[in-house]
Amino acid sequence: DRTELSKNIVRGMLAYRQLLDDHPEWRERVVHVAFAYPSRQDLAIYRDYTAEVQRVADEINSSYGTPGWTPVVLHVKDDFARSLAAYRLADVALVNPIRDGMNLVAKEVPVVSDEGCVLVLSREAGAYEELGEDAVSVNPYDIIGTARALHEALTMQPGERAERTKRLTAAATALPPAQWFLDQLHALEA
């Protein structure tokens, strides 16, 4: 995601930290790979938020990291190919915006996933209406609830994970982006 306050990256990392506290069995087994691409860095509030994302990642790594394990791998340089590679390999994708439009990431991940990826999705994401039924839903403000959802996603059986991913892919590809855009324009006109 872009490092915008609406994307809720910091709360996602705090939920991951809560997961490590609540379920220490995930330590040294799960890595939170965060793609937080800088946005609007000409504005102080966005620079400050990017710095906060980095600070929280560093704090988690300092508190929980070991010589052989870095809990949070943070990428702040836009690299779409690297993002797609991560989507293919991810077991869980957390998309937890406070408020968002379509949120393409929620649609891209299941489509390119190799083994099936559990989507943990904010009820405030624009894609929630289409994808919410097969995602693990979260309130984007609820860090403890999001940590529980991450645990649920990580412990989901492979068969259920694959079936959900299949249904998410069908839903994600059912409405072409051009149609979504036209629907938004018509809604604005009405």
- Show the tokens assigned to 177: 């982006």
pLDDT for 1 beyond 80: no
Render pLDDT for 4-15 as a digit per residue (tens, 0 to 9): 888 999 999 999
Superfamily name and number for 5-189: Glycogen Phosphorylase B; (3.40.50.2000)
Query: Which parts of the chain fold into alpha helices (H)?
Result: 9-22, 44-64, 80-89, 104-112, 128-131, 143-154, 158-174, 177-189
pLDDT digits (tens, 9 = 90+) for 15-44: 999 999 999 999 999 999 999 888 888 889
Q: Which residues contact 4 (CB under 8 A, 6 or more apart)?
A: 39, 40, 46, 49
| Domain boundary assignment for the chain | 5-189
